[in-house]
Structures are given as structure tokens and as C-alpha cells.
Structure 1
Amino acid sequence: MPVPLSILDLAPLVSGGDVPDALRRTLDLARRAEQFGYHRYWVAEHHFTPGVASSQPALLLGQIAAVTEHIRLGSGAVQTGFLTALSIVEQFGLLDALYPGRFDLGLGRSGQARVEKAAAKPQAEVGDHIVDGLLIPKHFDWAPIFASKRSQLSGSFLTQPGAQPLGLTEALDQIDALLAGPVADDEGNEVVATPGAGADLQVWLLGSSGGESARTAGARGLPFAANYHVAPAKILEAVAAYRASFVPSAALKQPRVMVSADVLVAEDDATARHLAKPFGVWVRSIRTGLGAVPYPSIEEAEVFAWTDQDRAIVADRVDTQFAGSPQTVVERLNTLQRVTGADELLITTIAHDHADRVRSYELLAKHWSA
């Protein structure tokens, strides 16, 4: 049997559209995803990103839950460096109280990772290579972006003045304690997260390398989502580090890995490649530190003036986007699943035309289970 397919949605704006339009598209896509048989529907958390409306996962998930019936919903991922553990537990505890047993609390490092990446030293370059049929491209260096003035400006709004983000382990300790609740001190004083204590949430960690998130997920016996679509160069490192550090827990007896992928499906390869033309332009806006712009139209993409430098900074993402007919994409996803050993695949698809995006998910679901 094929592994389950799930969806990661950024609630993307498109050129000529606005935030209300993007959010309406997300609600419609979630309803369709449930009809198509997708297992989970996750939404991202991005800030100061002109082309992404998914900035507050809990708020958006509440709206999605109201228009769906049974599909699991979750965050991909709540950024632990910008919220207190109590805020996270209360938000998702409220969701679980209204729609019991449907939510995944996906968590990621944010404030911590920004500081580390800004100060990171350049890595030894490893060029594109193929591992058992899967492209592992050259690593993209995020350090200049996180060290930029724009990144510093956005960071100044993401935490209270003087606040230091919790380390991942400390944040998880607090979240676990509040979910188990009540929390007591050594004098017997107690506090209870209301709502939140006792919430039926499945906690996941997300990561883009073999670093702290992967190792912590394994050590705590949590499921782990690894990002082939964000950092394809690091995917094998990430899943290997997770499995190597895995310790069985009450929640999970064996490692569980979900791997993400950029996908666009159309009736044939030529049509899919045509619809995918804006993808590189969109990725360039991210990779140049501007934050994702509203997703361009095909016409805008066709007149974009590319430079060699532009093409180089988007190559890893463009080359690892699975764009093609259902047969082509299913074959490439099967390779990704086989090489990574993924127990589930997390699909993210963006197209300028909403109908093309919905059709992509429909075609993939139909042929994946065929």
C-alpha cells in the first residue's frame, strides 16, 4: 500500500490577488483535500512575507476546522522562538476543545535558528549528486539572508524587547508539562492551562537538517517532518539523524518520518512544466531576502529577466520540484519515499490559478491510490 499523502499550505497570495482571496482559496482547498482523501492538512507560519497569508496557524486552523469534518489539521510549524509555551498550549487547547482529537501540534525552531544561521560559517560545498535515483542538490547558504538588515528589522518585531527565545528542549518541557497539567512548584502552588491541559494533540517536530530538531525529535520519541522542499540538500542527513537518535516513547514505539516535497501535477508533462514556470521567480524572491512575493502569473514569469546568479540561487528548488503528469510525479514521489524511508509524504503545491492547484491535488490523489 502507498504511504499516506498530506498537504502543507502557505495560504499563498497570487499576483493580482489579496489576503482575503488567498484565505478563501485555502478554505476551499481544505474542503477539496478532505474529499480527495488526503490524510492531514497543515498550515505554515511565516511573518513579514508579502506573498503568504498563513501567519497565525491556530487562527487559520480554526477556520479550516469549521468547514471540514474529519481530516487531521496541524501546524507546519508553530515557531517556538516567538511564542511562550503557554500561548501555544492555550491556542491549540482551544482548537481541541472545539474540534476534539483532530489536531497536530507541529513545532519548529525559529528565533534560535535565525541567530545560528546568521552566524553560521560557510560549509564545504558538495555539488549535485544522485542517491539511488533521488537528486540531492548543492546546499543553499541562508546565512547572508538571516544576517541582513531586513531580517534584523523583522526580528525586532517578533519578540518582546530583551526577550530571549527558549531553547527547543526547554520549550518542549514546558509544553509537555502544560498539556499534562496542572503544573506545581516546590511549595505546592499550581497553575493549569485553560484550555490546554489534557488536550488530545499529536506533537511533531519539523526540521531542515540533521541538527537539534531532528535529534530532539528522536530522543523524545516524537514524529518528525523533514523538509525536502525547503532544504533538499539536507534531507538524508535529517532523516538519518532522527532515526539514529530515536528512543521509543509512550506516544511512539518506532520512528515516524514525514517528508515534504514541492509538487505540481497536470494532465501531461508539458502542461505541468508550463504551469510551473512562475515557481523559479517565486523562489528567487525568497532566496534574495525579500520574502516570498505574491505568486506570479505565467505571463509575468515568461518575461522575467533572469541572470546566471538568479538561476544559481534557485537551482536546488527548481530541480527538486516534481512537476509533470500524474505518472511522472508518482514515480518521483515513490523514489523520494523509498530513498528516505518516509512513512508519509507532505505535499506543497502552488499555482497562480486556483483551479490548476486544486486539479493538481486531485490528480495526484487519484493516481497515488490507483
Structure 2
Amino acid sequence: MDDSTNKNEFDHAWKPVILSPRDQVDKNVVTKLKDTGKVMFFDTFELQLTELIKTMNPKRSLSLEELSEKKIDYYKASGNSAQECGNWIYYPWRKTLVRVLEEKDFIRLRTIRNKYKITEEEQQKLREQAIGVIGLSVGQSVALCLAMERCFGELRIADFDTLDLSNMNRIRTGLFNLGLKKSWIVAREIAEIDPYLKVSLFNDGVSEANLEEFLTWKGKKLDLLIEECDSLPVKIQSRIKAKRLGIPVIMDTSDRGMMDIERFDQEPGRPIFHGLLGGFGEEADLMAKIPDRGKEIMMALLQFDNLSERVKYSFLELGKSITSWPQLASSVVLGGAACCHYARMILLGLSVASGRFYVDLDQIIDLNEG
């Protein structure tokens, strides 16, 4: 068990507890949890080990006898008995214990289907990267996609909000999470996919007061920022600070598949939002102009004329028939996948230029019909 984690803090809102069957204290904790009769436990270690051995011997199908022999070899090599291998993961919010492979073997098996699409060297490089995600509507899809592909060593997620029923038209979660912090929901789901991934939470979101801390948490500067929040001040401030720190920024707007990429790591003098806000004066003065010209600034950075007709119409209905602009699950999931794809490319040093482009599914159909 990690020394930084208190074994008694099982009421933690989002962080799993890793318990080693080779550590007597941890073994006692596992026993006590089981003895309560209130904790479900799942031990599929043998199933995972069987799959691991098969993936390590891809050239032929192993017989049951050969599998058994290789399992014995595995236990001997580890220096532990069958019962002492792997780790128990305790999920306090689910009151559930799950036994999984130890970290190295777990990662190897969980990413085996990435192989050659992402090389082993690339996968290792991704484990060294820190990514920040601000806003957890589109950001939830981004974060989960990044976690499934294991595209980071640390993920920082920030959102001040809690889950409302109306959010569930685009956020994949369950009704039992209503009222919970969105950051907890995302962190829990990542932990249930991969308990070894490092996730840091900013439960109050980001603001001018803590934005620098978010970008440089514990002395580690982000390698990439993915900005998906609704706040105009945060959109502007995050880019100004990311630009100063040389951090690239990605954004998806979940309309017409619009992707925004700003390579401040390669172009330190690049104007934020591709210079679309140049008509409002110097970047340093933009924040002071938001109270009077915020709507104009937002329309300029979104390039209002390029928005879909239905989203344009929705802006006219804000404050009349709707309280916020609409987003659909299909667009949000598409944006999450696109952000993950380009994040991986940027972090691996592949060629990704600054710019704005559209993955417009409606336009693709129109072009094909033409």
C-alpha cells in the first residue's frame, strides 16, 4: 500500500485503495473488510493470469497442461504463492474488493490491444506525460478516452459543478451519481478502469486564483491542456498562462466537430484563439472587457458564422426557452475521441500544427451525396 494513503480513510470519495496480499497489515485489512459481510469481493486473478500467459505466447494455442505449468513458473518467478500474487483494490464508494494483476503485468495486459497502433516505446513515453482537463462534460469523454488508451502518467481534472439530471443527455453515468461532484464521478470511473493511473482533482474548478497551481501542480508542468469549460474568463486566462508556460492547448466545441489546436509549445508568440480576438485589443486587456463585451468576444472566438444553424438558433433562445446552449451525446463523444487522438499525437511528438478544423459528419454526408 502506498505510504501516502491512510488505510483508515476508506470513506474517500474517489480514490481506490491498493492492498498488497504480501503485506501483513494490508492482508489484515482485506480480512476485516471481508468479515464485515458488507463488502463484495471479486477474485478473477486466475482468469487475468491465464490471459496474460496466452498473450505472452502468441504463436500457438497452449494446452491446459501447458497453461498450468506456466502458471507455476509465474508463481516461482514472483517468489510468492498463488494467494500472494496480484493486489486487492478496494473501491470505498462501491464497497467492493477486486483482485487484479500487479501494476506491471496489469498495464501490459490492459494495453495489449493497443500494440502496434501504439508501440511499446510510445506507450512508455505516454506514461511520463501530464495532461490537464478543465470542464467535465465534453471533458468526461476526453478523460475516459485518455484513460482507456493509457495516454498519460498523470491526469489533472477540474470542475466545480455537481451532476444534474439534464447533464445526463451527454455525460455517461448513472442516476445514483446525481448530486455528486463531476470530478469525483470521472475519477471513480477511471479508477474502476485502471486503479494504477494517477489522477489529481481540483474539485472547485479553476479560477485566476488557482490556475497557475493547476498548470504546475507539485512542480510538474502540464505537457498538454485540454480546455472544455463554459467560462469565458477561464478560456482566456488558461490560454494566456499556457502560452507563457509553453503548454499546448486543445479544445472541442461539440458542434460540427470543431477542433481547436494551439501549439504554444512550438509557437510561443502565437496569439490566443488564432488571433480571432485581435479586434478587442491586447490579450492582457481582454479580461477587463468581458463585463461589457463578453458576448461579442465569445461569438468571435467561436466564429459564430461557422456554427451549425441549430446552434445559432439556440443562442437566440438563451434566457428565453433554454438556460444554456445545447450539446448532444454523439457530438460530445466524438469530441472526446478527437481530443484523445490529437493529444496522443502531440505528446508523442508527431506532426500536429496549430489551427482550427471541423470533423463535420453532416458535411461529410453532403459531400458524398454530391
What is the TM-score normalised by the length of structure 2? Answer: 0.28
Larger radius of gyration: 2
